[in-house]
Amino acid sequence: MALAVSALTLASCSPAPTPEATPKVVATATPEVTNMLLSPSPLPLHYPAFDRIRDSDFAPAFDQGMSEQLKEIAAITGNAETASFDNTIVALERSGQGLRRAMMVFMNLVGADTNDARKKLQSDYAARFAAHLDSIYLDAALFARVEALYDNRAQLDLDAESMHLLERYYSDFVRAGAKLDEAQKVRLKAINGELAQLATQFSQNVLAEVNDSAVVVDDRAQLAGLSDEAIATAAEAAKARGLEGKFVIALQNTTIQPPLTYLQDRALRQRIFEASVARGSRGNAWDNTGIVASIMKLRLERAKLLGYPDFAAYTLENQTARTEQAVNDMLGKLAPAAVANAKREAADLQALIDAEQKKAGQPSFKLAAWDWDYYTEKLRQARYDFDANQLKPYFEMKNVLENGVFFAAGKLYGLSFKQRTDLPVYQPDVLVYDVFDADGKQLAIFLADLYARPSKRGGAWMNAYVSQSHLLGTQPVIANHLNIPKPPQGQPTLMTWDEVTTMFHEFGHALHGMFSNVQYPLFAGTAVPRDFVEFPSQVNEMWADWPEVLANYAKHYQTGEAMPQALLDKVLASSQFNQGFATTEYLGAAMLDQNWHQITSAEQLPDAAGVLAFEAAALKKDGLDFAPVPPRYRTLYFSHIMGGYAAGYYSYIWSEVLDADTVEWFKQNGGLTRANGDRFRQTLLSRGGSKDALELFKDFTGHAPRIEPLLERRGLASKPN
C-alpha cells in the first residue's frame, strides 16, 4: 500500500498552454497493441517501455491497479487467522504493485513532459486517488489488525527494520484518520478529495502561466548584455511561438529571473521582474488566489479534525524538527543576521549605482529588486576580477555530467557508468546509463533529462521509476531532471556555475535512491523525512569544486584547456559573496510557508482578495519586508508548498545544517576517498527511511548536528570585536 502512496509525490529537491502534441518517444521497435502498464516491464530492471506506453493506457491501468489493490486489502481483512506481521504488514507492503507501476510512470511524465491528455488524466484522477487511499487507511477492520500488532509489538521478536515498519504503519494510519468516528471520516474523505483536485489545478496553472508570462522583445538591442548563445536561444523560443524576428525570454519558477544578471536595459529588467511576480494574481484563467485561499482553509480544517492545532503541527510531528517551536527558533535565529547582511550588500550596490550614474552625468535611482543581480554581478567583477560568463566555456553539459558528477561518484563509491542507446526514452534528449557497482555488478539504471521545455515543470528534481526492495526483488531506475536552456542546433550546451552545482545536487538524490539497500519498499531511497531528504544531495554539491574533481571536468569545450587556477581561486574566494541576498530570499519563502500553515483559526485566513495582503503582512512581521530582496517564491507560484513541501520549505536550510556539518567531517577525514564514501553509503545512504533520520546522521558523523558550520558557510557567524 505504501507504494501507491509514495507514487503521488515526486522527490526533489520542484509550467502558455502546453502544446497539444502526441507523446514524444524514441521507438525501438514496432509496438504491439497491448497495455504495457498492466504487467511489469520486460526491459532490464523493469525500465519503462516508453515507446509502447500510450496515454490511453493510463486510465485502464489506474482502474485495474486500484481494483487489484482493494482485493488485496480485502484478502488481508478477510483472513481468518490472527493478525501477524507477515499476513498483515508484509501483505500491505506487497499490495498495490500494479497501481504503483502505472502511477510512477504517469506522475513522472506529468512533471517531465506533460500534454493535454496527461493534464486531463491528472485532473480526472486526483480525487479518485485520494479516495482510494482513504478507503484503505480508513478501513476499520484493517486498522484493527495493524493496531493489534502495534499494541503487542514487544512480543513479536521483530528485527529493527521490521519493528520500524510496524510502528510507521501504525503512525501513518492514525495520522490518516483511522481513529476518527464515521461522521468525521466522511468529512475527511471530502476534504482529501477537494485538496487533491485543488493542488492539481494549482500546479497546472503554474505551468501554464509561466509559459504565458514569457516576455517578448522586439529589438535585439534591448538584449545588450546577454551572451550570443542566450540571444540565439531567445530567438529560437520566439520562432517556436511563431514570432519570427523577435525574442522571447522564458520565465523560470523563481521570483528573480536569470537574465536580470546581464541585461543592461533597466526597463526590460523591470518588465521581466514584474511579469514574474504577477504570476497567479492577474485575474486570468490561471489566477491562483482563490485556490490558495481554499487550500489553506481545507488544510487547517483537516489538521483540526485530526487533533492538531494547525497544519504545521500536523506536518512537523513526523519530521526531524518535530515542533513548530524548533523550526521557528532556527529561522528566527537566521533571519536578523541575513537581512542585516542583505542591507549591507544593498548599500554597496546603491553606492555602485550612484557612482555609475554620476560618471554618466545622469540622475541616480534607488536600487530595486530587478537591479540586484545586475549590479551584484558588476560588483563581483570589481571585487574578484571575474565575470560569471567566463566560467561557462569550461562547463559543457555532458562533460560535466560524465567527467565531473560521474567521476566523483567513481572516486568516492567505486561506481562506473556506461551510456546505452537501446532503451526507449520519452524525449530524444534524455540520456540513459547503466550504473555498475565497484564489484562490476549492475546497481541501477540512470536517466538524465537535462533540458528545459514548455511541457516540463520548472526547477530540478529526482524521481524513481522503480525503487529498490529486497522484499519485491527490485533494483532502482532513477532519473534526474534539470531545466537547462537548450541552445540552437549545433551549439554546445554551456552551463552556469549554479547549474553545475544543481547537477551535483540532484545526483546526490540519485545516489540516495541507487544505494538503497532495504527490505521494505516503504523505506526505499529518498523515503525519509522531508527535512532530511535534501541533506545527502546538498552534501554531494561539495564535490563540484573539489580540486581533483574540478580538474577532471572544468575544461574549455573548444581547446580542452583546464580552467586557470586563478579563475577558480576567484570563484572560491567569492563563495560568501551575496549570501545576505541568498539567505534572505530563501528565508522569505520558508517563513511565509510557516505563516500560512501555523494559522490556528479559519477566521485568521484570508479570502482570495486578501491573499497578497496576508503575504505582505507576514513578511513585515518577520522583518523580511525588504523590497530589493523579495521571497524566492511568492505564494501564488510557490509550487513546493502546494505539494509535498507544505509547512516544510524550511527543510532546505534544516538539511543544510546537517550538510555543512557533514562537509566538515569529510574535510577533516581526508575528503574524496573510497573509505569515506563507503562509510557514508553504508551508515546513511543505503538505509533510506529504515531508521530514525537523526540517528543515521549520528551513525555517520559520531555526534549530534551543530549549526556553527552553516553559520560560517553563509557568513552569518558572529564576528569577533
Cβ burial 148-183 (10 Å sphere, 16+ → b, else e)? ebbeebeeeebeebbebbbebbbebbbbbbbbbeee
Helix (H) or strand (E) holding 334: helix 324-359
Whether the per-residue pLDDT at 8 is higher than 60: the answer is no
Catalytic residue among 377, 396, 506, 656: 506
- Look at residue 308 and tell me if it is in a domain: no
- Judgement on whether residues 476 and 455 belong to the same structural domain of the protein: yes
Residues 186 and 332 in one domain: no
Q: Is residue 196 part of a domain?
A: yes
Q: How many whole angstroms separate alpha carbon 214 and alpha carbon 254?
A: 13
pTM: 0.90
Is residue 506 annotated as part of the catalytic site, yes or no?
yes
Contacts of 466 (CB under 8 A, 6+ apart): 45, 46, 47, 104, 474, 475, 476, 477
Rounded to an integer, what distance in angstroms lies between the CA atom of residue 641 and that of residue 597? Answer: 10
Give percent above pLDDT 90 in the chain: 87
Question: Does 436 share its domain with 478?
Answer: yes
pLDDT band at residue 566 using 50, 70 and 90 as cut-offs: confident
For 49-64, write each residue's pLDDT tens digit. Answer: 999 999 999 999 999 9
Q: Supply the pLDDT for residue 386.
A: 81
Beta bridge pairs of residue 431: 448
- Cβ(415)–Cβ(440) under 8 Å? no
- Domain identity same for 569 and 602: no
> What is the Cα 54 distance to its own chain's centre?
27
The continuous run of DSSP H or E covering 510 comes out as helix 497-514
**Calpha distance 73→178 (Å, rounded):** 15
Give the C-alpha separation, 164 to 181, whole Å.
27
Please report the pLDDT score of residue 572 as a whole number.
Answer: 79
Question: Where does the pLDDT of residue 32 fall: very low under 50, low under 70, confident under 90, or very high at 90 and above?
Answer: low
DSSP string covering 551-613? HHH-B-TTT-PBPPHHHHHHHHHTTTTTHHHHHHHHHHHHHHHHHHHT---GGGS--GGGHHH
- Which of 27-31, 305-309, 352-356, 393-397 is predicted least confidently? 27-31
Lowest-confidence pick of 84-93, 95-104, 635-644: 635-644
Structural domain that includes position 222: 214-277
pLDDT, position 718: 64
- Which pLDDT score is estimated for 272? 98
221 and 150 both lie in a single domain = no
424 assigned to some structural domain: yes
Round the CA-based radius of gyration of the chain to a whole number and report it: 25
DSSP class of residue 154? G
Alpha-carbon span 553 to 402, nearest angstrom:
8
Mean pLDDT, residues 211-234 taken together: 93
Mark whether 332 and 439 lie in a shared domain: no
Q: Which of 153, 187, 206 finishes a domain?
A: 206
Q: Give the separation between CA 602 and CA 653, rounded to whole angstroms.
A: 29
| pLDDT exceeds 80 at position 4 | no
Mark whether 520 and 420 lie in a shared domain: yes
Q: For the segment 275-334, what is each residue's pLDDT rounded down to a tens digit? A: 999 999 999 999 999 999 999 999 999 999 999 999 999 999 999 999 999 999 999 999
Write down the pLDDT at residue 21. Answer: 33
Q: Looking at the domain assignment, is residue 315 inside a domain? A: no
* pLDDT higher than threshold 90 for residue 575: no
Give the count of domains, the chain: 4
534 and 643 together in one domain? no
Domain assignment present for 522: yes
Q: Which residues contact 526 (CB under 8 A, 6 or more apart)?
A: 11, 462, 464, 509, 512, 513, 533, 688
367 and 512 together in one domain: no
Summarize the confidence of residues 606-610 as an average pLDDT: 97
State the CB neighbour count (10 A cutoff) for residue 114.
22
Q: How many residues are recorded in the chain?
A: 721
Query: pLDDT averaged over the chain?
Result: 92
Distance CA 341, CA 536 (A): 28
- What pLDDT is stored for residue 716 in this prediction? 79
Decide which of 206, 235, 266 is a domain's last residue.
206
Q: Could you give the CA distance from residue 615 to residue 296 in angstroms, rounded to a whole number?
A: 13
Residues 6+ apart with CB under 8 A from 560: none
How does DSSP classify residue 465?
Answer: E
pLDDT at res. 3: 37
pLDDT in tens, 636-653: 999 999 988 999 999 999
Confidence check: pLDDT of 27 > 60 = no
Average pLDDT over every residue of 152-172: 97
Query: CATH no. for residue 26?
Result: 1.10.1370.40
Residues in Cβ contact with 242 at an 8 Å cutoff, skipping those fewer than 6 apart: none
Distances (CA, A) of 639 to 508, 593, 685: 22, 11, 27
Q: Could you tell me if 526 and 515 are in contact, meaning their C-beta atoms sit under 8 angstroms apart?
A: no
Percent of the chain with pLDDT over 70: 95
Give Cα 491 to chain centroid, integer Å: 29
Name residue, grid cell 534544516. 654
127 within 8 A of 197, measured Cβ to Cβ: yes
Strands of the 442-451 sheet, one edge to the other = 416-419, 431-436, 442-451, 477-484, 461-466
Residue 13 pLDDT grade (very low, low, confident, very high; cuts 50, 70, 90): very low
| Residue located via cell numbers 525519509 | 528
Residue 682: is its pLDDT beyond 70? yes
Return the C-alpha cell found at 588. Answer: 522569505
Flag whether pLDDT at 411 surpasses 60: yes
Structural domain includes residue 255:
yes
Residue 335 has pLDDT above 60, yes or no: yes
Domain annotation covers residue 359: yes
- The reply to whether 193 and 61 lie within a common domain is yes
- Assigned domain for 700 exists: no
**How far, in Å, CA of 344 to CA of 619, rounded?**
19
Q: What is the pLDDT of residue 126?
A: 93
Which of the listed residues 649, 683, 703 is the one where a domain comes to its end?
649
Is residue 191 domain-shared with residue 246, that is, in the same domain? no
Helix 651-668 and helix 324-359: axis angle, to 10°?
90
- pLDDT given for residue 58 in this prediction: 98
Q: pLDDT tens across 257-268, in order?
A: 999 999 999 999
Same domain, 154 and 31: yes
| 3-state SS record for 241-264 | CCCCCCEEECCCCCCCCHHHHCCC
